[in-house]
Amino acid sequence: MTIVSASSGVEVGGVILEAQGLVLSFGETPALRGANLSVERGEVLAVMGPSGSGKSTLLYCLAGILVPDAGVVRFDGRRLDDQSEKERSKLRRDRFGFVFQFGQLVPELTAEENVALPLLLGGTPRAEALTVARGWFERLGLEGMECHRTGEMSGGQAQRVALARGLVAQPDVLFADEPTGSLDSLNGEVVMDLLTRAARDQGTTVIIVTHEARVAAYADREVVVRDGLVTSTASATR
């Protein structure tokens, strides 16, 4: 079922990403033991669980970074797990955005160039990409930092730049792995607030891996991964 939101005009509803029976081991160590998950378009989903439960591995399988030993991943109705690395790489560049625990900005580039990176890689002309990138700075409370480099920004500012980079190309899905893990409570709150607002505004589906309940509380729903299985879900109505 596909519904168009009256408030934002973006498509919401309908399954965008699906995992069935995912199994993946690292050597002798099983990380996923038959994980199932279904994510709705436009949904903000928190994936919780203790360290070593397999939650990040699940995220990387859903994002086409890791390929499961068994099981199926479908994105937008199409199998992702049997695609070549080249195809998955293109998919990640064109349709997905990423935010990691440590911003992982390119230190040689300015903040605005970092934000523009996904657009540049996607073939957008430089001037246009930078114009779009600059538009994000005011939105994220980073006015005046456009030409700063990583070393000239605080952890919270760098993470907001990384967030802008993750969302600038208007991806279908934003994957966030412990996006506030390196931040103090207040900066973590700011990042989560901006992340969920911006994603909801543009209809981006978000999957956040976190072990923090306060971060998960920004999501519409959470699932808990335990011993390589998705064990419980609790949904909310927004």
Partner 1 sequence: MALLGLLDREPSHGYDLKRDYDTFFGRGRPLPYGQVYATLARLARDGKAVTGETEPGAGPDRKRYSITESGKDEIETWLSEPVPAEPYLQTDLFVKVVLSLMLDRPAEPYLDAQRAAHLRRMRELTELKQRGDLVDALLADHGLFHIEADLRWIDITEARLTALADEVRS
Query: Does residue 213 contact residue 206 with C-beta atoms inside 8 Å?
Result: no
Report, in angstroms and rounded to the nearest whole number, the Rg of the chain calculated over CA atoms: 17
Does residue 125 touch partner 1 according to CB under 8 A? no
Between 90 and 211, whose beta carbon lies closer to partner 1? 211
Between 53 and 110, whose beta carbon lies closer to partner 1? 53
Among 3, 121, 147, 236, binds partner 1 (CB under 8 A): 236
* CB of 222 vs partner 1, minimal distance in Å: 6
* CB of 197 vs partner 1, minimal distance in Å: 8
Name, in order, each residue with C-beta under 8 angstroms of 211's C-beta and a sequence gap of 6 or more. Answer: 48, 49, 50, 51, 178
Name, in order, each residue with C-beta under 8 angstroms of 123's C-beta and a sequence gap of 6 or more. Answer: none
Between 106 and 217, whose beta carbon lies closer to partner 1? 217
Question: Pairing relation of β-strands 221-226 and 229-235?
Answer: antiparallel
Which position has the token pair 């591995």?
Answer: 57
Residues 211 to 230 in contact with partner 1, rule: CB under 8 A: 213-214, 216-219, 222, 224
- DSSP SS3 for 50: coil
* CB of 220 vs partner 1, minimal distance in Å: 8
Q: Residue 17 and residue 33: Cα distance in Å, rounded?
A: 19
Name, in order, each residue with C-beta under 8 angstroms of 43's C-beta and a sequence gap of 6 or more. Answer: 16, 205, 206, 220, 221
Quick note: the x/- pattern for partner 1 over 36-65, rule CB under 8 A, is --------------x---------------
Between 154 and 232, whose beta carbon lies closer to partner 1? 232
Between 3 and 234, whose beta carbon lies closer to partner 1? 234
- Sheet of strand 78-79: strand arrangement: 29-40, 15-26, 70-75, 78-79
Does residue 69 touch partner 1 according to CB under 8 A? no
Residues 154 to 213 in contact with partner 1, rule: CB under 8 A: 193, 197, 213
Rule CB under 8 A: which residues touch partner 1? 50, 193, 197, 213-214, 216-219, 222, 224, 231-232, 234, 236
